[in-house]
């Protein structure tokens, strides 16, 4: 009998959900129809992630640069966030999913901020999948906030310059409580990070697929995980060193 291949699951998956606009355009639909379909994809993906017991997923829902899109699209996206949270949060809660948001929520409408806060507090004690939603987030913004916090502590003499190290910087960033992403998935064919989790993806395996986000499904997530499980993660060491420690 053949032994089953061992699939090493990623602990934390970061996702850039790209391609909604092109998906809609190719069907002669308005861009927002692509985003609506994208929410359905996210829902199915979360169901699958719960089934296969992933620990953490961090999705890029809205970057700080996305404010530059046409006002109509931004407004429709904001409405979609509110309606998606209102319609999905109970089910997420029933599935033991903990929802948290990273990014500057203070720039959102009060209504959206309330939905965000309510989703977080309703699900805060859940112990299953952690779903982090990056909204009004960017990697450089995150790093600048960390630098400001460290500079303030130095100014107030509660910290010395020599105390600055990777651990300290990580502790000042969004996702400080989470392990760095193991796997980064970007749909939609572009091969870039787009100012996402810049510090946190230093050693993340990067997976790009042509599939547009609304067409991404459980099978595609499994393919990405399968690809990940075949990667040799060296973290700066040589392949030989790793093989020695494995034997
Ligand atoms: C990028 O595709 C997608 C977005 C900017 C929005 C993604 C948001 C969702 C799927 C909704 C998530 C909802 C919640 C509540 C977490 P694009 O518009 O850049 O597509 P294109 O590259 O084809 O133009």
Residue partners of 132: CB distance under 8 A and separation at least 6? 56, 57, 58, 59, 100, 101, 102, 175, 178
Q: Which residue has a Cα nearest atom 11 of ligand 1?
A: 39
CA-to-CA distance for 157 and 217, rounded, in angstroms?
51
Name the pTM for this structure. Answer: 0.93
Express each pLDDT in 148-157 by its tens digit: 999 999 999 9
Q: How far is the CA of 19 from the centre of ligand 1 (A)?
A: 7
66 is catalytic: yes
**Number of alpha carbons in the 13 Å side-chain half-sphere of residue 137:** 23
The minimum-distance atom of ligand 1 relative to the CA of 20 is: 20
Domains and CATH numbers, the chain: 12-138+180-235 (3.40.1180.10)
**What pLDDT does 8 receive?**
87
CA-to-CA distance for 132 and 142, rounded, in angstroms?
15
Which residues of the chain register pLDDT less than 50? 1
**What pLDDT does 246 receive?**
67
């Amino acid at each position: 009998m053949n032994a089953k291949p061992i699939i090493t699951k990623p602990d934390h998956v970061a996702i850039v959900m790209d391609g909604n606009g092109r998906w809609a355009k190719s069907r002669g639909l308005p861009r927002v129809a692509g985003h609506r379909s994208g929410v359905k994809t996210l829902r199915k993906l979360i169901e699958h992630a719960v089934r296969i017991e992933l620990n953490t997923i961090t999705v890029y829902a809205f970057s700080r640069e996305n404010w530059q899109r046409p006002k109509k699209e931004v407004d429709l996206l904001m409405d979609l966030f509110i309606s998606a949270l209102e319609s999905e949060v109970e089910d997420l809660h029933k599935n033991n999913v903990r929802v948290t948001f990273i990014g500057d929520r203070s720039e959102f409408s009060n209504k959206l901020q309330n939905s965000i806060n309510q989703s977080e507090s309703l699900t805060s004690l859940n112990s299953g999948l952690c779903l982090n939603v990056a909204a009004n987030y960017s990697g450089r913004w995150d790093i600048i906030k960390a630098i400001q916090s460290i500079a303030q502590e130095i100014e107030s003499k509660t910290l010395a310059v020599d105390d600055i190290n990777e651990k300290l910087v990580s502790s000042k960033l969004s996702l400080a409580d989470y392990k760095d992403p193991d796997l980064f998935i970007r749909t939609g064919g572009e091969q870039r990070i787009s100012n996402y989790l810049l510090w946190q993806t230093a050693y993340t395996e990067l997976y790009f697929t042509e599939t547009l986000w609304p067409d991404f499904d459980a099978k595609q997530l499994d393919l990405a995980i399968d690809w990940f499980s075949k990667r040799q993660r060296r973290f700066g060491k040589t392949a030989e060193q790793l093989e020695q420690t494995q034997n």
